[in-house]
Structure formats: C-alpha cells, structure tokens
Amino acid sequence: MTQMSGAAFLAETMHGYGVTHFFFMPVIVDDAMPHMEKLGITRVMAHSEKPAAYMADGYARVKGSVGFCGAQSVGATNLAAGLQDAYLANSPVIALTGRLSQEQQDRNAYQEVDHSRPFSANTKYSARVDKTDQLPMYLRQAIREATTGTPGPAHLDLAGIAGGEISKNSADMEVVIENQFSSLPPFRPEPDSSSVNAALSALGSAKKPLIIAGGGVKTSGASKQLIELAERLNIPVATALNAKETFPANHPLAVGVPGSYSRACANQAVAEADLVFFIGSHTGGQVTNDWKLPRTKTRIIQMDINAAELGRSFPIEVGLQSDIQAGLQKMLRSTGEVGKASDEQDRATWVAHVQNLVDDWKASVDQLWNSDDMPMRTERLSKELADHLPGDAILVADTGHSGIWTGTMIDFSSPDQSFIRCAGSLGWAFPAAFGAKAAAPDRPVITFAGDGAMWYHFMEMDTGVRYGLNTVTVVNNNASLNQERALNERNYGGPLPGSDELWKLTNVDFAAMAEQMGGLGITVTEPTHFEGALDQALNADKPAVIDVKTNIDSIAPKAWD
C-alpha cells in the first residue's frame, strides 16, 4: 500500500487499463487532470454532457474496452441521459459524477438533485463512493461490471460536487490492474456438449434454416467462426445492424440486415425459415420487426453469453450459454455428419431460393442506386459512399433514416471496414465519431447523419478541431425530418402548412458552419462530385463536413412484414 491521492489513483488506474482519452464536461475530478496529462491521457473537454457520454461510447465500441466520461453534480442527469445509447448498445462506458456530501442533501442545495435514479435506468451498475479509501474497490468493480457478460455502462458517484472529496484526499491504496478486464470479452465460457449436439442435430434436421448474427459476434471477434460454420452447414446468414461487418456482403450465403431497418429480402427469408439460429443477438424489437419475425411456431436456437437472454422473446428448442467465438468454435469441432443437412438437395434448394430473394431485391433498387436525379436521391448517396469508402474505414451511423440507409443500401467491400451505429438517440453519431477517432487515430472515421441529427450537437465540431479528431461527416441534408412526413400529413389530411412545420427544417449550409468553426466544409449537389469531395475531406488534416443536398422525397423504405 502507498499513501496516494484519489486523483493519482484514478489516473494511474485508467492508464493501467489502457485508457487514452477522458471525455468530460467541466468540472469533474479537476485535480486528476494533471496526473492524466503526465500519463499521456488526453482530456477531451466537450461542450455538453451528453456528447461527452457519446464520445466515450464511440471510443469504447471501437477500442473494445472501457471508455471514461464525467460531469459534476449539476450535469450528472445530462450525462445519465447520454448513457442511454451505451446501455442499449452494450458499450462498456464508465461514468464519473460528483455529488454533494450527505449533510448537504435534502436541503435545497444549489444545483443539486438526486441523480441516482437516472443512472439506475441507464447502467448495469451504479455505486456511491463516500471515502477515498473506497475508490479502489468500487472502481475495479465498475470495470468488471462494464466488461463482463453482456457489456454495459457503469457509474460511480463521487462525494463532492466535482468528486473532490474523493480525488483530493489521500489514503493507503495500491493500483491493481486486473488485465482480464482490460478488453472484451474478459472470459470465453463454452456451451455444454449436450447443448452443442442438440443444436447441431436441430440444424441438420431443418429444411430451411437461417442464422441471425448479432452484436455479440462482433464483441467476441467471432466473424471467422461465423463464416466457417455457415459455409460448413450451408446456412444463409442475416446480420443485425450491430453485426453488419461480421459477414461479407458479397458472400453467396449473405442475406442482409433483417428487422425494422432492413432489406425486404432479409425479412422474407426470415419469414420463410423453418428454424432460426440467433447467434449473439438480442431478440429485440428492431431485429425482429417488433417480434413479427420469425413467424409463430418457427423453431428457435439461441446462443448468448448472458443466460437471461435465452428464450426472452421466443420459446427456444436449444439454448447455448457461451461466449460466441468459443461456442462457435466448439460447434465447429463437433461437426461431422452431425449438423449437416439430412437432405442436402433440400438445403441447396433453400440456399438458391434465398439468394434469388437477394438478387431480386438488388434489381428492384438498382435504378435508385444509380439515379442521376437532382437533388440527389439518398439511395445514390449511399451507393457513392459505399463505392468510395476506404478499405479500413469506420462508418458511424445515426438513427432513424440514417440507420435504415446504412442498413439497407450500404454494403462493405473489405473485411477491414467497421460499423457502429446509434442505438437510440438522434444526434449521437457526430460526437460519437470523435470518440471513435480517438480510439483509432490511424483509421478513417466517417459519419453518416441527416441534417436533423446534426442540429443536436454541431457545436462539438469545435471539440474535434481543438483535439485534432479529424473525422469526415457526410450530411444527408434535405432540410427536413422527412421520416416524420407521412405521420404528420396523415394527421392533417395532406401536405398543409400545419403539417409542414412539424417536419420541415431551415435549409442551412453545414459546410459554411464547419468552416466558421475551423474545420473543412464542402457542399455537394451532384452525384458525380461526391468522390472528389470525400477524397478532399479524408486528406484535409482537420475535421471535415460534406454537406450533400438531397431530395426531400427520398424516403427510406419501410420494413417488409
């Protein structure tokens, strides 16, 4: 044990776990900042608490380990709101907040509210730290909670409005780094052999099986095993948005993204399947199009590291509690005649049928993909982005239409391309991309977001400029929230002034705004100009915004059901 301040302990622990950036809104653990600087940890000061949480989320997802964010007491509930996406996306973010001492509680203290309940809704683990000597126990536990099982955010509420009662005081403490928890996943449990054999037998007996791969495949680094199992058993694969990068888009067994942000062919295949194998995928509303798919009485197999997810939404024939890579590897070791189709001709017919569904869908959108309309259709913008996306790029997508466009219209051409996306809150992608760039400074980070999303946190352009977080943001700018168009026109009985004001926005020049804040701004109005704009932005050595003027009538497709 060594007598040390809480500030020094916090900084040294973060450094020991490989943390390179701390995203915060002043003031929180201010006396830890010099310690962080000496250890090479960049302190990224955001303009608001939610973007600080979003940056830590993007960082954690790309780095595959814990990301840290923080805010003082008055900003704590704002920070908690920013953790919603990390919670929904199973991202291991650690949030630090300050809290006035107990004798100041319940007395109408200035700017103080009880923020424990907001954090309980958006974290796996939330704890109070009342004394400096408690910090080692609670900080290590927060990291363990954030990284184990289904990952997710954790929260420590430090005594003092900025955590000063913990960080400024000293105690006998030892910095202990539990290396198992420094990256995801910390453990790789295998399923039991009887469950593996039962799953393989079920897959072999199915005439029309289908795999739905989820974010657990990505977290576990199990893409290789997923591809090998699908090929060995000749089973088509649909990928949830969170697993988009885990299965090659041009593979003959690839189906696309199913659910509500989906290609029609993927939902059609899920609807026709007689057995669906969910691998590392929550059976939630988005991937199942509000539980309409798979159809009732479809046989279900499910593999997840969290036993509580097995059978949560659909009755299961076989459940496998396992790390995904370890579980798929054990299935591959166990395959022989077991697991192979009992009728190989039936299986080949099914695979050919599914591929026909995929080909028919591609043919149906080909004209939109290649449209020369002006203003540009978003389908064409999506194709231009897909065609010219660098081979090692990280694509960061917002929610709503941006999630649908990237899910349906953009295919990856390289196994080194990555994808993270908003799990709930419009406006997440722009600041999250700065966190992603902090985690992967040598890779191109490209954001795809609508103008509606950009209005949320555009001031963080200044943060990117100040810290050299040189992302490229592609704005699908149709001066509207046109996803809400049909809803409002239905309520008003048509396109009337009253309905228009509920979804149309001011037509602004985001490129000029980016320039004013010290970044690069480029406006694109013609499809053939996008490639050059993207190349210029990628080589700008500053954060860049490509403001693409798109067609307000270009509406993302509704899910097939």
CB 144 within 8 A of CB 178: yes
Q: Whole-angstrom Cα distance, residue 325 to residue 322?
A: 8
> What residue ranges of the chain have pLDDT lower than 70?
337
Cross-strand pairs, 504: 480
CB 271 within 8 A of CB 244: no
Q: Is 157 left (phi over 0), alpha (psi -120 to 50) or beta?
A: beta
**What is the structure's pLDDT at 103?**
77
Secondary structure of residue 323 in the 3-state scheme:
coil
**What is the structure's pLDDT at 1?**
76
Q: Whole-angstrom Cα distance, residue 168 to residue 130?
A: 13
Q: Whole-angstrom Cα distance, residue 90 to residue 284?
A: 13
**What is the structure's pLDDT at 371?**
97
Could you say which DSSP state residue 560 is in? P
Q: Which of 286, 279, 199 is nearest to 241 (CA)?
A: 286
- Domains, the chain: 2-182 (3.40.50.970), 193-358 (3.40.50.1220), 370-549 (3.40.50.970)
**What is the structure's pLDDT at 555?**
93
CB 505 within 8 A of CB 451: yes
CB 259 within 8 A of CB 559: yes
**What is the structure's pLDDT at 337?**
63
> Which two structure tokens, joined as six digits, stand for 529?
């100009």
Could you say which DSSP state residue 189 is in? P
> Which two structure tokens, joined as six digits, stand for 105?
């509680």
Q: Whole-angstrom Cα distance, residue 437 to residue 472?
A: 10
Alpha helices in 493-543 (DSSP H): 497-500, 510-516, 530-538
